[in-house]
Amino acid sequence: MLTKRIIPCLDVKEGRVVKGVQFVSLRDAGDPVELAAFYDKEGADELVFLDISASHEGRQTMVDVVMAVAASLAIPFTVGGGIHSLEDMKRILRAGADKVSLNTAAVLRPELINEGAGYFGSQCIVIAIDAKYDETIGTWRVYTHGGRKPTERDVITWAKEAVERGAGEILLTSMDCDGEKSGFNVDLTKAVSEAVTVPVIASGGAGNAMHFEDAFKEGKADAALAASIFHYKETSVKEVKSFLKQQGVVVR
């Protein structure tokens, strides 16, 4: 039986992990490779690196980070942020990433999903969706540009289209829950998970181990992603997994 995956997410800017990571045990808390190794040891099933570099040089540096992580780590990892073309995908995947995640670029030009899946296979293409509930339409709306721009698309329809075009996985972030630490958006996660035939990663809102249980049991997520609660050591991957095991959720 497939296990439910726990995925720490690291924000990388100009080659360094940013957004405060509190690891006194590490020599350098900003080093992506060192942090990746730490989470690997903790039992993380996978990692996501989000490249938030603003400059071209920063994005080049990301390629070096990807190569260094691939050389030292024996677990899968995804790279997202700033991937706009098949060339961008090639650069990151050839450097050793297992998957790339596309967000704004895929919404602006959905054919990009077909191109990526056609070239590398669906298993390499993750579609990241930033979702926010809209009362006027009674469903969730897709946002782009890091959550700044609303689009005309509704989340369920977009998720289905992305999968038809070849997406192998959906990384679903609830903007309503993100940063609140009051739990994943179970309704949203469940709605998308039931609408598509590929794995769904729940993201946004993790505050404690019980929230992961809800995402898996009620939200029907296949994986769950969190950043700050792991970085600030409010809980650990190990703790979350041992709690989930007690609750009958199959984890590695």
From CA 104, how far away is CA 100, in angstroms rounded? Answer: 13
User: Is-catalytic flag, 88?
Assistant: no
Contact between 1 and other proteins (CB under 8 A)? yes
Pick the closer one to other proteins by CB: 3 or 236.
3
Q: Which residue has the tokens 């994005």?
A: 59
- Interaction between residue 244 and other proteins (CB under 8 A): no
Helices 86-94 and 111-120 cross at an angle (nearest 10°) of: 40
Give 246: exposed, middle or buried? Use CB within 10 Å, 0-12, 13-18, 19+. Answer: exposed
Q: Work out whether 168 is an interface residue with other proteins (CB under 8 A).
A: yes
Q: Which residues in the 182-211 window bind other proteins by CB under 8 A?
A: 197-199
The least CB distance from residue 136 to other proteins, in Å, is 32
* Residue 11 a catalytic site member: yes
Amino acid at 99: K
Does position 110 interact with other proteins (CB under 8 A)? The reply is: no
Query: Among residues 22, 60, 85, 123, which is the contact residue for other proteins, using CB under 8 A?
Result: 123
Question: Is residue 65 helix, strand or coil?
Answer: helix
Do 71 and 65 meet the contact criterion of CB atoms below 8 Å apart? no
**By the rule CB under 8 A, 70 interacts with other proteins:** yes
Annotated catalytic residue within 45, 130, 178, 222: 130
Query: Is 142 in contact with 151 (CB distance < 8 Å)?
Result: yes
Beta-sheet pairing, 169-174 with 125-134: parallel
Asked if 45 is part of the footprint of other proteins (rule: CB under 8 A), the reply reads yes
Does 238 help bind other proteins (rule: CB under 8 A)?
no
Is residue 189 within 8 A of residue 200, CB to CB? The reply is yes
Q: What residues are annotated to the active site?
A: 11, 130
Q: Which residues bind other proteins (CB under 8 A)?
A: 1-3, 5, 40, 45, 67, 70-72, 74-76, 94-96, 98, 120-124, 168-169, 197-199, 222-223, 252
